[in-house]
Amino acid sequence: MTTTSHPAATEGTPLGAALAALADADPQRTAITHEGRSISRAALEQRTNRLARAYARLGVTPGAFVTIGLPNGIELYEAAIATWKLGAIPQPVSAALPGREVAAIIELADPALVVGIAAPPGSTWPAVAAGYEPAATLSDAPLPPVVSPSFKAPTSGGSTGRPKIIVSSQRATVEEVVGLAGPLRMVPEGVHLVTAPLYHNAPFNTSVCALLIGCELIVMSRFDAARALQLIDEHRVDWMYAVPTMMLRIWRLPEVERLKPDLSSLRTLFHLAAPCPEWLKREWIEWLGPDRILELYAATEAQAATLIDGHDWLAHPGSVGRAYLGEITILGRDGTPAPPGEIGEVWMRRGPDEPRPYRYIGAEPRQRAGGWESVGDLGSMDEDGYLYLSDRDADLILVGGANVYPAEVEAALDEHPAVQSSCVIGLPDDDLGNRVHAIVELREDVGDDELLAHLAQRLARYKLPRSVERVAAPLRDDAGKVRRSALRAARL
């Protein structure tokens, strides 16, 4: 089991203690609502105290990872809060991951406990199923305060198709976590709509921040455009998380359905995760007004971040804003700074002497001298420092805001006995931004259904190809290389 060095207590307000203080201040105020079920602050406090004691009996200790594979809902937040109350680190993963992906992530994390999903067969990691109930005899009194060395450890696939864990350097204290609230225009005691899967970094991050400043969370199991608008109206939501795919689906609702709900309570629509088409952004600004639209660009690693509101965007259309955290520069292929307007690779850092805001498990950062790091994004910067993204790196496919790495899909395809070689590319999609397209060279004829059933046992659903194309010529050269960009260009 992996553990991380940690402060024993003190040094900041532990997240568990902050939530307990909110419960003391207003015990009956609703903390979280999910699909018609709500839990009060007091009930959340008592429940997570008991759950933390149960986790401790199962072996969770300060600095250890707890892998949480639960669907969106109250139980996921309870598991994370209980983990913080023990000084441990929540590591959210998709509840729908195939067994092979789960095994790879768990082996990397070496957690003290797996919650909601089965540990790999034959493994020694303790696990509890979804719906786990701690013993009623366990106390629900407050636990001794302790600070976890990291408040999150999300997972991500690498460009090689292998998973990695991104362990935040932010300790689980109010002082280090809620700083996000101000720049993102969250207000204390507000109402926050959670629209996206919580195993992704951004919705987990923003909703935890909202919970800590006393907001009520309205949590959707899965995004539905019409239902999201109804929830804003019904609960008087003032802050909503979105990605461009969600914005498109809402915009394409019949006008009478889109305009019927009362959205006057919505102060901020916050979007990120993928480039937003200019036409769609303009429509939203015209609909809600520029004051209510806020966009952020950052990697999960959080080396730097930009922000831009609707007014600023209208003055700099297509931009994702200027850096509000850290530093950003654009470098050409030769490693020298690109002139304004010229596309190059986006490099980021917190500062020349600032420590890295994360650490990897299962990967190494791509870095240059001076503390600069890149996640492979391409873009340009104007003379005023506004960043414009042109694309992610050549291979990465953004599907509805989620990252799909071709190497991972190709590895799963190539495992099928009928597949000689394969190449996976992204093609434009009006709904998701991109769709996964598989090109295969076959040893013997095999139907799409069989190939997709094979992949479904190995990959999460959003990574599955939407289309399969067969070719007779080899896809790779003698060195095993494939030119994805050329194959994609030919199909466009």
Residues of the chain under the 50 pLDDT cut: 3, 5-9, 158-160, 478-480
373: number of Cβ within 10 Å? 18
- What is the pLDDT at residue 477? 56
Q: Supply φ then ψ for residue 387, to 5 degrees.
A: -90, 135
- What is the pLDDT at residue 160? 46
Domains of the chain in start order, with CATH, are: 1-7+35-160 (3.40.50.980), 397-491 (3.30.300.30)
311: number of Cβ within 10 Å? 13
- What is the pLDDT at residue 377? 85
Q: How far apart are CA 195 and CA 65, in angstroms?
A: 26
Burial class (CB in 10 A: 0-12, 13-18, 19+), 21: middle
Quick: pLDDT tens for 348-399. 999 888 888 999 998 888 888 888 999 888 889 999 999 998 766 667 788 8
- What is the pLDDT at residue 288? 96
- Residue type at position 65: F
- What is the pLDDT at residue 157? 55
Q: How far apart are CA 265 and CA 187, in angstroms?
A: 13
pTM equals 0.81
| Distant-in-sequence contacts of 247-250, Cβ < 8 A, 24+ apart | 247/271, 247/276, 247/280, 247/284, 248/277, 248/280, 248/430, 248/431, 249/223, 249/225, 249/431, 250/225
Angle between helices 74-85 and 15-25 in degrees, nearest 10: 120
Q: Where are the alpha helices (DSSP H) in 199-306?
A: 201-212, 225-235, 244-251, 255-259, 278-288
Task: Please check whether residue 58 is in contact with residue 128, taking contact to mean a CB–CB distance below 8 angstroms.
Answer: yes
DSSP per-residue codes, 108-169: HH--SEEEESPPPTT----EEETT----TTS--SPPPP---S-S---EEE-TTS-EEEEEES
- What is the pLDDT at residue 111? 94
188: number of Cβ within 10 Å? 12
